């Protein structure tokens, strides 16, 4: 018999629960992935929420009146900061002695330490198998990430912990691995001999919107680069694993992170640029802030495959274009052909577009129909358009099945913080920040930064 499980969502009245978790659970329910789920418990502090009000929240969230799905749920009032209130879960949990318990912590990051401690102590009296799912951001810097890891480890084993980076659940991101390791034609060129540089970008046309309170403490480097973009870097740069299992794949990703060249504190201006959009301080909730809403970091991987190839990790808000992508830019065509052509052939690229749509593009060039061999070649592209699957759906299935491949391991998260820590420190000590116009391509300093390397920012 397959094992049964029960899901507990802490922060069940929050934005993530309503916008992502409930719709994804509904979709999984309709596809029969929750047939072994005995119950879904949502918790929250609001005293005015009874059974009916909670069902209305679910209805609004999924946009459907699916009463059979709603019957899986139970709402439990619980202040997660108060240890004594966890006993509110006792009655209901006592009915499910055989079930594996999946605790999903969907609350603001400043609550993680106390919730993990309270939950860990509460679970000492309970013998069910358990899993704990922790949302991002995992820590605020290297020290806080280490502290959070050490608190979790007091109560949970590494195999019970699922640290979420939802970018890893995205179809195109997983296809970086798929394309590289299922096609022999790419292996020979996937290195410093053929690749000039790599650009990994998460560009948004919107600002901080309702997330100001959180975002102003965090900024672009911590919000996007340390986690999501660094994860994409590891998938592009990793060696083929010895086998397809979670340990082998995560070991290879960690090896990449360990090979990233240290950015020394004094050298930070050579490796990183930041900016803040013009209207950021106009928000009446702020008086002064040096938080970056745009950041670029250039990293080098000191190993045989990648020596000398820069990886540019770039993110920003209120930009002209919304695009999340990873672009592999190949070297210019050398020698005779480039000299004889009366135009400069474009570099070949392989582009992974992650948002707004899923797409993989291979750009190459052909001689024009009827043209001479040496006339200017026409750029040509081959595209694969993937489905826009919800990343959280994939991640939930993996949590249920106990597959950690798409989750971040303890050593992985700490090493990623170690890499960006000198930049965090330098920016804290040097606060003046370039301002860029809203709807632009970012600060002029970022344009100069890449132009100095003889390159330009790419878009798909
Ligand atoms: N929202 C998104 O789209 C999104 C995307 C990616 C990752 N995340 C991550 O997901 C997590 C949740 O985000 P969210 O946007 O859903 O947050 P949120 O709406 O601000 O908070 C979620 C819930 O946490 C509870 N909460 C707030 N302060 C608390 C405290 N001091 N002690 C105990 N509970 C408290 C509140 O529930 P009650 O008041 O009912 O107790 C609230 O409804 C965060 O770690 C965030 O970084 C969110």
Mean pLDDT of 78-102: 96
pLDDT attached to residue 213: 87
Answer whether 105's CB lies under 8 Å from 10's CB.
Answer: yes
- Catalytic residue from among 26, 228, 404, 430: 228
In ligand 1, the atom with minimum distance to the C-alpha of 112 is 45
Answer whether 12's CB lies under 8 Å from 106's CB.
Answer: yes
Best of 10, 11, 204 for a ligand 1 pocket test (most atoms within 8 Å of beta carbon): 11
Q: Is the pLDDT of residue 375 over 80?
A: no
Regarding the beta carbon of 109 and ligand 1, being less than 6 Å apart is answered yes
Regarding the beta carbon of 12 and ligand 1, being less than 6 Å apart is answered no
Q: Is the pLDDT of residue 333 over 90?
A: no
Regarding the beta carbon of 81 and ligand 1, being less than 6 Å apart is answered yes
**To the nearest whole number, what is the mean pLDDT of the chain?**
94
The contacts found for 371-374 with CB under 8 angstroms, 24 or more apart, are 374/340, 374/341, 374/342
Whether residue 430 lies in the annotated active site: no
Q: Is the pLDDT of residue 81 over 80?
A: yes
Of 254, 232, 251, which is closest to residue 242 (Cα–Cα)? 251
Regarding the beta carbon of 80 and ligand 1, being less than 6 Å apart is answered yes
Answer whether 159's CB lies under 8 Å from 130's CB.
Answer: no
Regarding the beta carbon of 23 and ligand 1, being less than 6 Å apart is answered no
Regarding the beta carbon of 134 and ligand 1, being less than 6 Å apart is answered no
pLDDT attached to residue 262: 98
Reported confidence tier of residue 374, pLDDT bands at 50, 70, 90: confident
Q: What are phi and psi of 298, to 5 degrees?
A: -105, 125
Write the residue with the smallest CA distance to atom 2 of ligand 1: 16
Regarding the beta carbon of 213 and ligand 1, being less than 6 Å apart is answered no
Question: Could you identify the residue written with the tokens 């950015």?
Answer: 263
Best of 108, 144, 213, 231 for a ligand 1 pocket test (most atoms within 8 Å of beta carbon): 108
Of 258, 221, 214, 257, which is closest to residue 422 (Cα–Cα)? 221
In ligand 1, the atom with minimum distance to the C-alpha of 19 is 3
Least confident of 113-117, 151-155, 177-181, 330-334: 330-334
Bridge-based pairing of strands 272-277 and 294-300 is: antiparallel
Q: Is the pLDDT of residue 249 over 70?
A: yes
Write the residue with the smallest CA distance to atom 44 of ligand 1: 108
Mean pLDDT of 419-446: 97
Mean pLDDT of 447-452: 98
Mean pLDDT of 387-415: 94
In ligand 1, the atom with minimum distance to the C-alpha of 78 is 41
Burial of 306 (0-12, 13-18, 19+ CB in 10 A): buried
Q: How far, in Å, is the centroid of ligand 1 from the Cα of 105?
A: 9
Regarding the beta carbon of 44 and ligand 1, being less than 6 Å apart is answered yes
Q: Is the pLDDT of residue 1 over 90?
A: no
Q: How far, in Å, is the centroid of ligand 1 from the Cα of 15?
A: 6
Least confident of 48-62, 208-222, 368-382, 413-427: 368-382
pLDDT attached to residue 176: 96
Higher pLDDT, 283 or 233: 233
Least confident of 37-51, 158-172, 183-197, 329-343: 329-343
Mean pLDDT of 308-327: 98
178-211 pLDDT, tens digit per residue, is 999 999 999 999 999 999 999 999 999 999 988 8
Q: Give the DSSP letter string of 333-346.
A: PPTHHHHHSSSPPP
pLDDT attached to residue 368: 82
Mean pLDDT of 359-383: 85
Best of 10, 12, 16, 88 for a ligand 1 pocket test (most atoms within 8 Å of beta carbon): 16
Best of 8, 15, 81 for a ligand 1 pocket test (most atoms within 8 Å of beta carbon): 15
pLDDT attached to residue 128: 96
Does the pTM surpass 0.85? The reply is yes
Regarding the beta carbon of 53 and ligand 1, being less than 6 Å apart is answered no
Share of the chain above pLDDT 70, in %: 100
In ligand 1, the atom with minimum distance to the C-alpha of 20 is 3
Reported confidence tier of residue 344, pLDDT bands at 50, 70, 90: confident
Q: How far, in Å, is the centroid of ligand 1 from the Cα of 78?
A: 14
Question: Domains in the chain, ordered, with CATH?
Answer: 5-135 (3.40.50.720), 168-390+407-451 (3.30.360.10)
Lookup: tokens for 143: 């020290």
Mean pLDDT of 370-395: 84
Reported confidence tier of residue 92, pLDDT bands at 50, 70, 90: very high
In ligand 1, the atom with minimum distance to the C-alpha of 46 is 40
Q: How far, in Å, is the centroid of ligand 1 from the Cα of 276?
A: 25
Answer whether 220's CB lies under 8 Å from 274's CB.
Answer: yes
């Amino acid at each position: 018999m397959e094992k049964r499980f029960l899901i507990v969502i802490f922060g069940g009245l929050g934005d993530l629960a309503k916008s992502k978790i409930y719709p994804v659970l509904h979709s999984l329910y309709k596809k029969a992935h929750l047939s072994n789920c005995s119950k879904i418990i949502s918790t929250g502090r609001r005293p005015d929420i009874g059974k009916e009000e909670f069902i209305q929240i679910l209805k609004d969230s999924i946009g459907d009146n699916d009463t059979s799905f709603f019957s899986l749920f139970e709402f439990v009032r619980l202040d997660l900061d108060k240890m004594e209130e966890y006993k509110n879960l006792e009655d209901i949990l006592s009915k499910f002695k055989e079930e594996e318990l999946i605790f999903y912590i969907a609350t603001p990051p400043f609550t993680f330490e106390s919730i993990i401690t309270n939950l860990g102590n509460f679970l000492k009296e309970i013998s069910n198998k358990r899993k704990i799912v922790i949302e991002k951001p995992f820590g605020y810097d290297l020290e806080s990430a280490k502290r959070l890891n050490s608190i979790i480890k007091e109560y949970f084993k590494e195999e019970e912990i699922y640290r979420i980076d939802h970018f890893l659940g995205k179809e195109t991101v997983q296809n970086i691995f798929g394309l590289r390791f299922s096609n022999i034609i790419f292996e020979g060129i996937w290195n410093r001999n053929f690749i000039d540089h790599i650009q990994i970008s998460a560009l948004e046309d919107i600002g901080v919107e309702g997330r100001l309170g959180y975002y102003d403490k965090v900024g672009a480097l911590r919000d996007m680069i340390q986690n999501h973009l660094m994860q994409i870097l590891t998938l592009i740069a990793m060696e083929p694993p010895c086998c397809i299992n979670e340990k082998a794949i995560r070991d290879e990703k960690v090896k990449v992170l360990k090979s990233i060249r240290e950015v020394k504190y004094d050298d930070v201006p050579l490796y990183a640029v930041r900016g803040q959009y013009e209207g950021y301080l106009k928000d009446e909730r702020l008086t002064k802030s040096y938080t970056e809403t745009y950041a670029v970091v250039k990293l080098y991987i000191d190993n045989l495959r990648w020596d000398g190839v820069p990886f540019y990790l770039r993110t920003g808000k209120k930009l002209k274009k919304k695009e999340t992508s990873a672009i592999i830019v190949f070297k210019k065509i050398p020698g005779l052909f480039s000299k004889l052509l009366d135009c400069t052939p474009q570099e070949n690229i392989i582009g992974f577009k992650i948002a707004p749509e899923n797409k993989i593009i291979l750009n190459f060039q052909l001689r024009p129909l009827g043209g001479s061999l040496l006339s200017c070649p026409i750029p040509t592209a081959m595209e694969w358009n993937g489905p826009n699957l919800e990343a959280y759906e994939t991640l939930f299935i993996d949590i249920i099945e106990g597959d950690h491949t798409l989750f971040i391991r303890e050593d992985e998260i700490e090493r990623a913080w170690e890499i960006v820590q000198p930049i965090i420190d330098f920016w804290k000590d040097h606060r003046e920040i370039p301002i860029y116009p809203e709807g632009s391509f970012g600060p002029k300093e970022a344009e100069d930064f890449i132009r100095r390397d003889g390159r330009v920012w790419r878009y798909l």
